[in-house]
Amino acid sequence: MPRPAGPERFSALSHRDFRLFLIGQTISLSGSWMQSVAQGWLVYSLTKSPFYLGMVAAASALPIMLFTLLGGVVADRVPKRNLLLFTQAMSILPAVALGILTGTGTITVWQIAVMAFILGAINAIDIPARQSFLIEMVGREDLANAIALNSAVFNGSRIIGPVIAGLSITHFGMPACFFINALTFIAVLIALARMNTTGKSEMKSEGIIKDFMKGISFLREKKEMLHIIGLIAVFSLVGIPFINLVPIFAGEVFHSGPRGFGLLVAASGAGALTAALGLAVFQDIRRKTFFMSFAAVCFSTALILFSVSRVFAYSLVIIAVGGWGMVSYLAAANSFIQVSVPDNLRGRVMSVYSFVFLGLVPIGNTVMGISADMIGTTNAVLAGGLICLICSVLFSFRYARRSGDVKT
């Protein structure tokens, strides 16, 4: 059972650079979720097709699969703050392009896919750098708390962004979401520029291939990490992609339009935020793999229930539970891995985590999109939930009764 962390439960906030980081992240990620909602609804408005929703989502995640392992090597080689300044500045360009194309009425689904691919390529470098930068802002002692708070900000923005996006689409049109998102990146650039921490690397390079293989060799010796990452792979392939089909549920199952779509995404974010804050408060979970097993089963069960629900209010609660389960598992896994890896390998190991968490999503999005076209959206989500549940139960049987879990 978790125990309250005491009066310093948010100890990572005592670090000035981390406070700056969180402020910039809160603003920027809210804008990114605005763009995500607007992009999903734009694709649905143009095509009415789950296949194209899956295709655009795959275009966004494909670069993660292609480039994020390289991004981990880069993150271990160069000052991370400088790398993040570059990636955040470059992220402004696709948002502005989408705003202009949508505002002029010339946007096509293929242009959306191209912009999604470009932004995904930028994120492939940004994500491992951002993940491995946390310890350099707060130190190892406060790392678990920083991971939880960073997850809380990410998922809190899943509530703020979609709600604002739904209102903006209704009252100002979709271009406003893209332009607002472009402006929010400025907050991150200011925060990064004011930091004292630069994230300098002491890594001695032996070449890209050898550098990368050192990270792989470390993981091969850690069977428990491999099993944790393996379950993330299952979620990425047949579980997490369900979020890209939510516009179909909003439009055709619940007939609730963009407002309902925003509320569903926000409800998922509310559950996720609850999970992240819970991990920040109860940061010394003694049996972490037991907790991850429970969270994985919750996420999988929620997918199944969401696919068969036809009542909007019930579905809001179910998707919130699913958000809690997904983020509880992912954040606990992130913390488990980061506290177990040497500092000089963190960028590369976290790039593998990011590759599995995000890089496999294009395959999953494609599979789910095609499946939704062939057997129906609700049946596709139901099948994905069943697969996730089977794998979660298998994971639980292996680890739920283990003693001596890593405490973080």
- Closest Cα to residue 245, out of 54, 112, 382, 2? 54
User: Phi/psi at 5 (nearest 5 deg)?
Assistant: -80, -5
> Above 60 in pLDDT, residue 23?
yes
Is 368 a residue whose pLDDT tops 70?
yes
Mean pLDDT, the chain, rounded, equals 81
**Can you give the pLDDT at residue 155?**
72
In percent, the amount of the chain with pLDDT more than 90 equals 24
Mean pLDDT of 84-97: 93
pLDDT number for residue 282: 66
Does residue 297 carry a pLDDT above 60? yes
Q: Which residues contact 71 (CB under 8 A, 6 or more apart)?
A: 124, 125, 126, 127, 128, 129, 351, 354
- pLDDT range class, residue 320, cuts 50, 70, 90: very high
Q: If DSSP codes are grouped into helix, strand and coil, which group holds residue 10?
A: coil
What mean pLDDT is predicted for residues 129-148?
Answer: 81
Listing DSSP states for 354-382 in one string gives HIIIIITHHHHHHHHHHHHHHH-HHHHHH
pLDDT at res. 405: 47
Tell me what pLDDT residue 215 has.
Answer: 62
Nearest to 147 by CA among 408, 274, 335, 323: 335
pLDDT confidence bin for 325, thresholds 50/70/90: very high
pLDDT at 257 over 50: yes
pLDDT score of 3 more than 70: no
- Name the residue with higher pLDDT: 161 or 213: 161
Residue 383: pLDDT band (50, 70, 90) is: very high
Q: Give residue 2's pLDDT band: very low, low, confident or very high (50, 70, 90).
A: very low
Residue 260: pLDDT band (50, 70, 90) is confident
More confident residue, 18 or 5: 18
- Give the pLDDT confidence score for residue 13 in this predicted structure: 86
DSSP per position, 244-264 = GGHHHIIIIIS--HHHHHHHH
What φ, ψ does residue 327 adopt, rounded to 5°? -75, -35
Q: How confident is the model over 166-193, as a mean pLDDT?
A: 89
Q: What is the pLDDT of residues 195-228, one digit of tens each?
A: 887 655 555 555 556 666 666 666 666 677 778 8
Q: Which residue has the higher pLDDT, 32 or 259?
A: 32
pLDDT confidence bin for 406, thresholds 50/70/90: very low
pLDDT at residue 6 tops 60: no
pLDDT of residue 7 exceeding 50, the answer is no
Please state, in angstroms and rounded to a whole number, the distance separating the CA atoms of residues 251 and 257: 5
Task: Report the pLDDT averaged over residues 18-31.
Answer: 90
The amino acid present at 225, given as its one-letter code, is M
Of 261, 253, 362, 267, the residue nearest 324 (C-alpha):
267
% of the chain at pLDDT higher than 70 = 86
Q: Which domains does the chain have, with CATH numbers?
A: 11-200+207-399 (1.20.1250.20)
Looking at residue 251, what is its pLDDT? 81
The amino acid present at 158, given as its one-letter code, is: R
Q: Please tell me what DSSP assigns to residue 406.
A: P
Closest CA to 92 of 119, 67, 110, 116: 119
CB 47 within 8 A of CB 231: no
Between 36 and 53, residue with greater pLDDT: 36
What is the predicted pLDDT for the residue at 357? 78
Mean pLDDT of 107-127: 91
331 Rama class: left (phi>0) / alpha (psi -120 to 50) / beta: alpha
The per-residue DSSP string of 208-249 comes to HHHHHHHHHHHHHT-HHHHHHHHHHHHHHHHTGGGGGGHHHI
Q: Supply the pLDDT for residue 285.
A: 56
Q: Which of 166-180, 261-275, 278-292 has the weakest average pLDDT?
A: 278-292
